[in-house]
Amino acid sequence: MKISFEALAEHIGVQFDDLSLLRTACTHRSYLNENKGSGLEHNERMEFLGDAVLELIITSFLYRKFPKKNEGDMTSYRSALVNANSLMKVADHVGLNEYILLSRGEAKDKGRARSVILSNAVEAVIGAIYLDKGYNAAANFISENLLNVIDIDEIVKNKTWLDAKSRFQEKAQEKMGITPSYRTLKELGPDHEKQFTLGVFLGDVQIATGSGLSKQEAEQIAAEKALAVKKW
């Protein structure tokens, strides 16, 4: 079935001047491995741009919404809004899964790897909107499809923004006066399905390691293990 990027643009409410930008945002590297003569570009550069645009817009939103909150709190709130789980909710909300160009092998995978691909594609779509229509259009997309889908007030009220990495940092600072650091120990596999192993350190002492399909995921797993090791 041919993918209609005109339909995706209409669905997300953005009238692109250059629709090829949206197509690039939805093109995974694995698709090009099987379609080398397609003339297409994969979405990783656009994801890089979209990640920065998303962070700026969310930071600006939090700065205005919480005038009395400190930098540390707002950093945690931002992490809760832009993590892979939140971006997957955006992908579901806009039906992005139906528009991703993937290799046959990747198309069959419905598990964790697909979640990473979709959350990265959301950032790439934000990058495409920014390139084609500018900051305000990107901000409108994020407001409509992220901030209206994920309730930041509920996150703050129930403290669900305190993920494993945040909890470990709080405990480490409280009990030892140290801020944990994370270092990449190993990267295995091809670019489109790379496995990252990171260590979490207190000073020069490695407390635990974690592995995942993104560095963020590996950090969370390492932090969860470190909490158990330290019995915090």
Specify the CATH number for the domain of residue 97: 1.10.1520.10
133 and 31 inside one domain: yes
Across residues 130-154, what is the average pLDDT?
95
On whether both 117 and 52 belong to a single domain, the answer is: yes
Q: Are residues 134 and 64 in the same domain?
A: yes
Both 32 and 146 in one domain: the answer is yes
Q: Please indicate, yes or no, whether residues 168 and 153 belong to a single structural domain of this protein.
A: no
Residue 193 — very low, low, confident or very high, per pLDDT cuts 50/70/90? confident
In this prediction, residue 186 carries a pLDDT of: 95
Same domain, 144 and 39: yes
Query: Taking 70 as the threshold, does the pLDDT of residue 221 lie above it?
Result: yes
Name 205's bridge partners: 202
- The CATH number covering residue 225 comes to 3.30.160.20
- Section 18-44 average pLDDT: 91
- 143 and 187 co-located in one domain: no
Note the pLDDT tens digit of each residue in 33-45. 888 878 899 999 9
131 with 180, same domain: the answer is no
pLDDT recorded at residue 46: 97
94 and 202 in one domain?
no
The confidence score (pLDDT) of residue 112 equals 62
Mean pLDDT of the residues in the chain:
91
How many structural domains comprise the chain? 2
**pLDDT of 72 above 70:** yes
pLDDT > 90 in the chain, percent = 72
- Domain containing 181: what range? 164-230
Q: Active site residue: 6, 17, 47, 51, which one? A: 51
* The pLDDT of residue 109: 64
Answer with the one of 158, 193, 216 that is the final residue of a domain.
158
Give pLDDT, residue 76: 85
Give the confidence band of 121 by pLDDT, cuts at 50, 70, 90.
Answer: very high
Residue 196, CA distances (Å) to 48, 115, 151, 219 in order: 18, 16, 31, 9
Catalytic residue among 123, 132, 163, 224: 123
Residues 26, 46: Cα–Cα separation, whole Å: 10
pLDDT above 60: residue 151: yes
The predicted model gives 98-112 an average pLDDT of 77
Give the model's pLDDT for residue 99. Answer: 94
pLDDT of residue 37: 79
123 given a catalytic annotation = yes
Mean pLDDT value of segment 181-185: 97
pTM: 0.71
Residue carrying structure tokens 């403290």: 159
Distance CA 133, CA 18 (A): 10
**Of 121, 136, 158, which residue sits at a domain end?**
158
Residues 118 and 170 in one domain: no
- For the chain, list the strands marked E by DSSP: 181-188, 195-202, 205-212
> Can you tell me whether residue 137 is helix, strand or coil?
helix
The domain boundary residue, chosen from 158, 193, 215: 158
Q: What is the mean pLDDT of residues 118-131?
A: 97
183 plus 205 within the same structural domain: yes
**Dist. CA 36–CA 34, nearest whole Å:** 6
